[in-house]
Amino acid sequence: MTTTAVRLTQYASGGGCACKIPPGELEDVVRGLTGATGPDLLVGLDDGDDAAVVRVDNGMAVVATADFFTPVVDDAYDWGRIAAANALSDVYAMGGRPVVAVNLVGWPRDLLPKELLREVLRGGADVGREAGCFVAGGHSIDDPEPKYGMAVTGIADPERLLRNDAAVAGLPISLTKPLGVGVLNNRHKATGERFENAIASMTALNRDASEAALAAGATAATDVTGFGLLGHLFKMMRASGTTAVVDAAAVPYLDGAREALRDGYVSGGTRRNLDWVRPHLSSAVSEDELLLLADAQTSGGLLVVGEVPGAPVVGEVVSRRKAAVEVR
Ligand code: CO
Ligand code: CO
């Protein structure tokens, strides 16, 4: 078997962040579980933030996160880059700067050549270099299904974090990458068609978006990943006690996303996202539009409460109403 003939997505039962455990299910599992707590745990489990943040000496905060998933694209190098950009993103989503990452690898040694694994790791290393983050070592296991990601440690100013619980009524909501990689990845997995625009979007770092959000004085943000825009927005509004009004027509999509939806490439994860948010949703748009808004993203952009230069405003935060998310 030559390495170029391998279609990595065929070794994945789920796909990317769409293989996440459904949001409601995960909340049931962790409810009531508490580890060590204290004033130095600045961001913990409570609000479903992107990373844990702990205050350490010298007025610094350490940001810790891990993310890994099964192949979302067939190409090993691209998958490595996407997984790394996605793992680093949770540090950026907290307003931090990644400093060191370690690889997390599951690899079917008997099924797939180790040259392919090398390509995956090369992708991760290249994105780490671009981010100015050391990638050193890690952990690997023999696994019937390939998995790759990183545990990332970053640093942040504890007074300037981007949290889930800090949204304030009266501010706009900005989105720094278009949506649609979920349906496009799903189509890629089914047909082998390659979507360069989706790969470019997923491999792009959220570093500049994070820096721009902090520079604009933002205090609330999250990245849009497996729970989709609606899911992540709901979590932020719930944590902040506010409502988001989304202007569906202002939300940008990658070329091909609407066609992929029309042709039926909606993942089970996306449908679960919408089911989960629906009781907290009031909508004036079609079911198809809601599915696009709930599309499970991999390495999506930042959803920032505030204005980010260059990023479209997709809605606004208002005082809490009956529904946590309103779509118009
Ligand atoms: Co995240
Ligand atoms: Co994550």
Q: Which two tokens stand for residue 65?
A: 């996160």
Q: How far apart are CA 167 and CA 174, in angstroms?
A: 12
Give domain status of residue 248, yes or no.
yes
Angle value at C-alpha 100, between 163 and 233, nearest 5 degrees? 25
**19-42 pLDDT, tens per residue?**
678 777 888 888 888 778 888 999
**Domain of 15?**
3-156
Q: How far apart are CA 64 and CA 277, in angstroms?
A: 27
Are 148 and 240 contained in the same domain?
no
How far apart are the CA of 52 and the centre of ligand 2, in A? 11
Q: How far apart are CA 322 and CA 312, in angstroms?
A: 26
Average predicted confidence (pLDDT) for the chain: 94
Phi, psi of 141 (to 5 degrees): -135, 155
Ligand nearest to the CA of 91: 1
| Entry field: residues in the chain | 328
The CATH number of residue 287's host domain is: 3.90.650.10
Which one is catalytic: 12, 17, 43, 244?
Answer: 17
Instruction: Out of 52-61, 99-108, 125-134, 207-216, pick the least confident.
Output: 52-61
Give the end of a domain, one of 156, 181, 215: 156
Give domain status of residue 7, yes or no.
yes
pLDDT, residue 3, reads 55
Q: Which two tokens stand for residue 48?
A: 């479903």
Are 22 and 128 contained in the same domain?
yes
Instruction: Out of 57-61, 188-192, 285-289, pick the least confident.
Output: 57-61
Give the end of a domain, one of 156, 185, 211: 156
pLDDT, residue 34, reads 77
pLDDT, residue 48, reads 76
Total domains in the fold of the chain: 2
Give the end of a domain, one of 130, 156, 182: 156
How far apart are the CA of 233 and the centre of ligand 2, in A? 15
Q: How many CB atoms lie within 10 A of CB 7?
A: 14
Nearest to 269 by CA among 94, 69, 107, 120: 69
How far apart are the CA of 284 and the centre of ligand 2, in A? 30
Give domain status of residue 270, yes or no.
yes
pLDDT, residue 14, reads 66
Ligand nearest to the CA of 300: 1
Q: Note if 133 is an active site residue.
A: no
Q: How far apart are CA 51 and CA 240, in angstroms?
A: 17
Are 106 and 188 contained in the same domain?
no
Give domain status of residue 145, yes or no.
yes
Give domain status of residue 166, yes or no.
no
pLDDT, residue 58, reads 86
Give domain status of residue 161, yes or no.
no
pLDDT, residue 4, reads 60
How far apart are the CA of 223 and the centre of ligand 1, in A? 5
How far apart are the CA of 91 and the centre of ligand 2, in A? 9
What predicted TM-score, i.e. pTM, was given to this entire model? 0.95
Give domain status of residue 117, yes or no.
yes
> Using CB atoms within 10 A of its CB, is residue 170 exposed (0-12), middle (13-18) or buried (19+)?
exposed
Are 113 and 21 contained in the same domain?
yes
Instruction: Out of 31-40, 157-166, 253-262, 294-303, pick the least confident.
Output: 31-40
**69-78 pLDDT, tens per residue?**
999 999 999 9
Are 149 and 176 contained in the same domain?
no
Ligand nearest to the CA of 21: 2
What are 222's strand-pairing partners? 303
Q: Which two tokens stand for residue 257?
A: 């996303």
